[in-house]
Structure 1
Amino acid sequence: MNCKESVTFFFFLALLILPFVLLPATGAPGRVGGMGVYCVSRCRGRCSKAGFRDRCIKYCGICCRQCKCVPSGTFGNKHQCPCYRDMLSSKGKPKCP
């Protein structure tokens, strides 16, 4: 292996390893650990009957990570999680589905 091939090899090796070093397992949504698994599973259940499922899951995930809870069921029951219930959008409307 010549010098140019060695540099190329180590560059690609670094590209493969770098994401695992920089991203902690608990900080990335959907990864094992932390609130990621909890939020993903609870929000999928909460949004299972929503018309705009992707948008529902997005906002539910935001609320879940901040409040660390998601109300049970597909609608209502927001009294179970006051933080989730009281979070508002920039327009003053409920943010969490």
Structure 2
Amino acid sequence: MLCIGMPALAAEGEGAPADEPAQAAQDNSIGSKAIAAAIAVGLAAAGGAVGMGIATAKSAEGISRQPEAEGKIRTAFMLGLVFIETAIIYALLVVILIIFVL
């Protein structure tokens, strides 16, 4: 955060003309949206990847313990992956709304 904030403080002391504060506020708003979007998509993707990895490991473990229940385990596994991926896609849609609507 310090690396992001220091250039903003340094640019503030340069003495911008009086008619440009609205433009500076809009530029800061766009930068804030970009940072928020990157964090949101990054967290959603990271959380989804961890969840998918755990689900894959547990389903493989369950299939190795009970090979006769492979069909049921695989069905539940695929359904879980679909729900995880849906949550990631919803995060992407929210980010698109943040960038283009707000």
Give the TM-score, by structure 1 length.
0.32
Flag the structure with larger Rg: 2
Give the TM-score, by structure 2 length.
0.31
Between structures 1 and 2, the one with greater helix share: 2
